[in-house]
Amino acid sequence: MSSDTSEKRFQNDIIDHLMSTGYMKRNTHRDYNKASCLDPELTLKFIHDTQEKTWKKWQRIYGEKAEQKFFFRLVSEIDRKGTIHVLRNGFKDASCNFKLFYPQPNNNKNPDSFMNFKSNIFSVIDELEYQEKDNGNRIDLVIFINGLPIVTIELKDTFAQGVENAIKQYREDRDPREKIFKRCFVHFAMSDEKIAMATKLEGRKTRFLPFNKGLENPVVKGDYKTCYLYNDILQINKLSKLISNFIYIEKDKKKELPIFPRYHQLDCVNRVLGNTVPGKNYLIEHSAGSGKTKTIAWLAHGLIKKFNSRDERFYDMVVVVSDRRVIDQQLQAQVKAIEKVKGIVEVIDDNSDQLGEALKTGSNIVVTTLHKFSYILEKARDLPKRNYAVIIDEAHSSQTGNMARNMKKVLSTNSLEEAELLDDVDDDVEEEILREIESFRNLNNISFFAFTATPKNKTLEMFGTENEVGEYLPFHTYTMKQAIEEGFILDVLKHYLSYETYFKLIRTVEDDPEFEEQKAKRLLRNFVEKHPHAISKKTEIMLDHFMNSTRNKIKGKARAMVVTRSRLHAVLYKKEFDKAIEKNGYSIKTLVAFTGTVKHDEKEYTENSMNDISRTKSIENAFVEDPYRILIVANKYQTGFDQPLLHTMYVDKSLNGIAAVQTLSRANRIYENKNDTLILDFANQTDVIQKAFEPFYEVTYLKEATDPHKLYELQDKLLDYHVFDEEDIDTFVNAYKKGENQQELHNILSPVVKEFKKIEKEDQVGFKKTLRRYQNIYSFLSQLIPFSDVKLEKLYIFNKFLNKKLPTINDPLPFNVLEDVDMDSYKIADKGESVIPLTGNGELQSASDGAANYTEDELEKLSQIIKDLNDAFNTDFTDDDKVFLERVKDNLLDNPELIEKMEHNSKENVEAVFDKYFNREMTGLLNSNMALFKRVNDNDELRDKLRYALFDLIYEDFGNKNKE
């Protein structure tokens, strides 16, 4: 008999295991009430078994309507406060206090607590029909506690589908407004290979996070790779602890989001709590993107609630130490967010006496600064009868260097070489921590839990776990590689260019007739003939690159950082950047960051004197505001600086080892519409950077310069598969640019998808890899080179949409924490060719097709507008200017955000916000028509007149399109 490889077999295996460990199996039609979204029989059974006196009191009050009133109040409380709140707190009504869940006790002080806990009823329903209609949609598995639904699971077997299909089902076929999805606090998309989770369904915008043991789940003999979900996570004891200690609601001004730990967070906390011993140290090596702050918060609360066999706390006090002078507000908020009893957490950031009293009396959890670290050790040593757990947040270099012992506050030299040497001092918080601990020997009453992404050798020796051969290893690891591949940080080495590589790339273009020679040459101007370390020429390169590329990234919000060799270098770069910006009339400003005072040419320079910001405003806060777009640093903000808008780093400082990793990782934070980064390095060889990253990366990501000819090779290779031809590309792109409806675009691509399905599976895999390779190289090179081959551009657009329609080949889709949204990129056109904004990851915004698509009627209208402006303001706008204004108009009409506002708001309301879109398009003229930009921008009345005229024109055009 053949093996049963069906999804139903997979489902039944999970149910059988859950039932063998204490779950009840229930029936969707007999036991589940669609209206209340409860299994009411089990809820009442739990109440009767555990709170009989309270129930009898309730019956005396409400008589025959007792059950009806009970469920009305229960459902109302769940709808108002959420399932997790009701499970933890129950509800009160008519002087009756009902519990809906009893947590697992963490000590033996109250025997009744164990009896109550064992009375909880865990149940599962398969194929749960949740819609209030006959034959409605079903969910594969739903987990209940005491009749309340808490977890949904959609299953797919990889023999036929895969986890990505379960994700798609949640996003496209599950209405997030249904009660069942609002009541449950986590939703698992699960195959026998991988698991993903979401805590809130939001249709196509639903964010699924990976819930795997690693990038690949290990093989389990005799079971599925994902069996850990039902063998471990959903087991009664573990699930009860999740409800009691981990799950909480994170609130911000816009919305509330249930928080469920990622697998590595849960595994780390549980492993530490299962192994912790006072006096023993633990090193947690978690990369950026690991959710370290939440892990620390969960660990702090877990440590304070851990009891030994004598029902005594393992630790009398937990101290969370941050490396910032003012405690990280996010860390404070996170630790307090999990606090269920007021007073558990105390924040101490400025008063040592207050800290001393807390240590003496034994407050539960104290959050304080690293600058009180030695004070903590001294006080803890003097109180040997008390045990302390000290969690150190980020044991690495401080961003401001406040911990350095010998930092020179004043630099006075005219030599750049001397300035570099003088600024090269030991400024490492990690070393400071180790020295402090070593000065307090035999701290047997303190356990240290050190969190870092980049541990040094000494850190491993001090906090690491020794194995049987004498090696020191982290107790728990979440690697940079995993964080990148799961989509929680960006790979800063993916688009990494040394100066030599950058120059080589541009020289390739100069000799290539397929590309526009003059545009490419202008990127470097006269740099080749000048000294490669001249500050003025490097400034010219950086500023040119920023204005032509970086400035347009992240929907026009991208920032850049210049890493300099010394404080004097920073001063000189600041002056040179400001001079060049003023000379070119750019609408951006720079900021500079360095400590102390720099004396140069008989003048003194400080941050405050050089930065054009209010003294009450920090550099960090100013950097996120326009017009401040470039931050020039010297020994500051190279570690511990978390600004997601930072896209590009220009490095003019020798870096190696951990310093290289920490510095370049400033750019790796994810942000909406940020899908890549760029490093342009003037000072380091790629092999040095590669060597620095290897211990933390696990794999090498550095690449040599990409030859632009590679695009033509990949183009030919794609065509050789005979899945599509150039006619297919032209047909699709023309339809897309003309604004054809989605149905038409799908119809054009459907025959191509059909041809793809005909080729062998091996060729399907090869085709998709080639397509992705083309997209990646084109999006990378578009940051650097002004292409003028429209065929390459059309193929890029065609591939972007085709890739979304191609079927998966049993390969799980890559996880992406961010929403699937477009990202702006610059594009320079030549000789009347189309101007097409690109996207970094294959996504793009609609764009005009240039002059080829202009209608005579529209040209006449623009001609009249230009004539009116010329007559009114004595200007001399030409027909060429008319072409540029038509491009502005088309770009506005192709802006999805503006179109959405026009579709759902009155003309008056849209006009009130039109300035933002108009200004953005006019700023775009800086690179293509500076003369037109200056004439419009320098005359407010003219600018307003043009804005009103264009607004009326696009509104009319928009109305005509909707009538068609």
pLDDT for position 345: 67
Residue given tokens 């109180």 in the structure block: 383
Select from 678, 713, 682, 675 the least CA-distant residue to 514.
Answer: 713
Buried b (16+ CB within 10 A) or exposed e, 682-700: bbbebebbbebbeebbeee
pLDDT of residue 798: 92
Q: Which residues contact 580 (CB under 8 A, 6 or more apart)?
A: 539, 540, 543
Buried residues in 763-777 as b, exposed as e (16+ CB within 10 A): ebeebbebbebbbbb
| The predicted structure's pLDDT at residue 362 | 63
Would you state the pLDDT for residue 787? 58
Predicted local distance difference test score (pLDDT) of residue 336: 60
Q: Any residues with CB less than 8 A from the CB of 223 and at least 6 apart, and which?
A: 231
pLDDT of 933? 73
pLDDT at 932: 74
If one counts every other C-beta atom within 10 angstroms of the C-beta of residue 219, the result is 8
Angle at 277 between CA 274 and CA 281, to 5 degrees: 100
pLDDT in tens, 524-546: 433 333 333 568 888 988 998 89
pLDDT for residue 773 = 85
- Cβ(545)–Cβ(633) under 8 Å? no
Per-residue pLDDT at 836:
21
Contact 39, 26 (CB under 8 A): yes
Instruction: Check if the beta carbon of residue 947 is closer than 8 Å to that of residue 915.
Output: yes
Element (H or E) spanning 537, and its range?
Answer: helix 535-548
Residue type, 862: L
Q: 389: closest CA among 491, 281, 476?
A: 281
Q: With beta carbons less than 8 A apart as the criterion, state whether 548 and 541 touch.
A: no
Strand partners, 198: 187
Distance CA 625, CA 813 (A): 36
pLDDT, block means (10 residues), the chain with 964 residues: 63 95 93 95 96 95 94 95 93 93 85 89 96 89 97 82 88 93 96 93 92 91 93 96 90 80 96 90 90 90 87 85 57 61 61 64 73 65 74 58 39 60 56 61 77 82 81 88 89 80 57 44 38 71 88 92 92 94 94 91 91 88 94 88 93 88 92 88 84 72 59 90 93 87 84 92 89 82 65 88 78 38 26 25 25 36 74 72 76 80 71 76 68 73 80 75 51
Instruction: Please answer whether residues 732 and 765 qualify as being in contact, where contact means their C-beta atoms are separated by less than 8 angstroms.
Output: no
Over the stretch 726-751, which tens digit does the pLDDT of each residue have? Answer: 999 999 998 888 888 777 888 899 99
State the pLDDT at residue 700. 37
CB 188 within 8 A of CB 151: yes
Burial of 727 (0-12, 13-18, 19+ CB in 10 A): exposed
pLDDT of residue 266: 96
CA–chain centroid gap for 507, Å, is 36
Collect contacts of 5-14 with beta carbons under 8 A, ≥24 apart: 5/157, 5/159, 5/160, 6/157, 7/140, 7/155, 7/156, 7/157, 7/160, 10/155, 10/157, 10/192, 10/224, 11/126, 11/140, 11/141, 11/155, 13/224, 14/141, 14/153, 14/155, 14/230
Q: Smallest Cα–Cα separation from 73: which of 88, 92, 56?
A: 92
CA distance 679 to 688: 14
- Rounded Cα–Cα distance for residues 418 and 411 (Å): 10
